[in-house]
Amino acid sequence: MSDTSPVAEAFEAQRDRLCAVAYRMLGSHADADAEDVVQEAWLRLSRQDTAAIHNLAGWLTTVVGRISLDVLRSRQTRPETSYDDRLPELVVTVDDGPAPEDDVALADSVGLALLVVLESLGPSERLAFVLHDLFAVPFDEIGRILGKSTDATKMIASRARRRVQATERPTVVGREQREVVQAFLAAARRGDFEGLLRVLDPEVRLTIDTPDGVVATLGATKVAAGAQLSAGAAARGRAVLVNGLPGIVSWREEGTPLSVIAFTVVDGRITGITAVTNPATLASMDLPDPG
């Protein structure tokens, strides 16, 4: 930005924080999108009478929130759109069972895991959680962005917080989570469509890094149908932890990696699945040997 006016300088002072807001709002598709959102916020600011803005940081946060919300809602109406951006870095470790010391060590990856968890939230929940819990934006300001009352906004944020807390804690990969994932994999191997639906949240979101870009699929019926098709891969997998979440790595017969899959489990149901099938991405990952 070549403009060196006081307004531009004030904006530049806020840029890193605004990028952080946009990145956490937009998640796995965010590197380019976050920059676009922040640039759009600058364009809107440049058209404003800044003398009428009493709290520039708050005004910019609100604008970035609104633009990000529009992007999220646009994605939701086109849930199978392919994106050029890659998923966040996925850290894969062997899952040897629920040893407490292992869970504590995995807490270091919770920042990455949070991005995966946020994928399972709807746009309103995501905005309310990110702005309030991560950036301390008051509920009344968030409510104005969402077009809802302060009390309704508090309820949305509370619902999102419960879902995040259920998956973000280091103890996330407990017995119940493993059992749900194993039930999903067993149903996939059997081609048991009804069994898959029993462990999938109705609004489950599947995000896949493919050779053609990142593709998202929304809804239990579509995800279950896809799981039936990939049952062979599930049968040749090894249990792992992916950013602290229960997952599985699969290999082809000749030993090259086929896929990495992570599962977000909330209240006994799978609310999010993140998968990597892109050979280039898999080749760059530090994966364990086939079990």
| Residue 162 within a domain | no
Any idea what the CATH number is for the domain that residue 55 is in?
1.10.1740
Judged by phi (left if over 0) then psi (alpha if -120 to 50, else beta), residue 281 lies in alpha
| Residue 156 within a domain | no
The percent of residues in the chain predicted with pLDDT above 90, rounded, is 18
Range picked from 30-44, 96-110, 186-200, 223-237 for highest mean pLDDT? 186-200
Q: Is the pLDDT of residue 104 over 90?
A: no
Last residue of a domain, one of 78, 98, 113: 78
Query: Within a 13 Å sphere around the CA of 38, how many CA atoms are in the beta-carbon half?
Result: 25
* pLDDT of 165: 72
* pLDDT of 234: 46
Report CA 127 to chain centroid distance, whole Å. Answer: 13
Mean pLDDT for 140-149 is: 92
Distance set, CA 25 to CA 28, 33, 101, 123 (Å): 9, 10, 31, 9
More reliable by pLDDT, 30 or 158: 158
| Residue 122 within a domain | no
Range picked from 88-92, 140-144, 165-169, 176-180 for highest mean pLDDT? 140-144
Instruction: Tell me whether residue 236 is exposed, middle or buried, using C-beta atoms within 10 angstroms of its C-beta: 0 to 12, 13 to 18, 19 or more.
Output: middle
Q: Is the pLDDT of residue 52 over 80?
A: yes
* pLDDT of 76: 61
Any idea what the CATH number is for the domain that residue 185 is in?
3.10.450.50
| Residue 85 within a domain | no
Q: Is the pLDDT of residue 132 over 80?
A: yes
**pLDDT tens profile 196-245:** 999 999 989 888 888 888 888 889 999 998 876 665 554 467 888 887 77
Mean pLDDT for 9-30 is: 81
Last residue of a domain, one of 78, 99, 127: 78
| Residue 289 within a domain | no
Distance, in Å, from the CA atom of 50 to the CA atom of 111, rounded to the nearest integer, reads: 35
**pLDDT tens profile 155-177:** 999 988 887 776 544 444 567 88
Number of domains the chain contains: 2
H-helix or E-strand spanning residue 80: none
Query: Is the separation of the CB atoms in 196 and 184 below 8 Å?
Result: yes
Last residue of a domain, one of 78, 111, 127: 78
Distance, in Å, from the CA atom of 73 to the CA atom of 150, rounded to the nearest integer, reads: 21
Q: Is the pLDDT of residue 36 over 80?
A: yes
Distance, in Å, from the CA atom of 241 to the CA atom of 100, rounded to the nearest integer, reads: 14
* pLDDT of 35: 85
Instruction: Tell me whether residue 254 is exposed, middle or buried, using C-beta atoms within 10 angstroms of its C-beta: 0 to 12, 13 to 18, 19 or more.
Output: exposed
| Residue 88 within a domain | no
Q: Is the pLDDT of residue 142 over 90?
A: yes
| Residue 290 within a domain | no
Expressed as residue numbers, the domain containing 65 is 6-78
* pLDDT of 257: 87
**Long-range Cβ contact pairs of 219-226 (< 8 A, separation 24 or more):** 219/79, 220/196, 221/197, 223/196, 223/273, 224/193, 224/196, 224/197, 224/200, 225/193
- List, in order, residues 6 or more apart from 279 with CB less than 8 Å away: 211, 256, 257
Mean pLDDT of the chain: 79
| Residue 146 within a domain | no
Question: In the structure, what pLDDT confidence band is assigned to residue 89 with cuts at 50, 70 and 90?
Answer: low
More reliable by pLDDT, 154 or 112: 154
Tokens of 284: 């760059």
Distance, in Å, from the CA atom of 35 to the CA atom of 67, rounded to the nearest integer, reads: 12
**AA letter at 157:** A
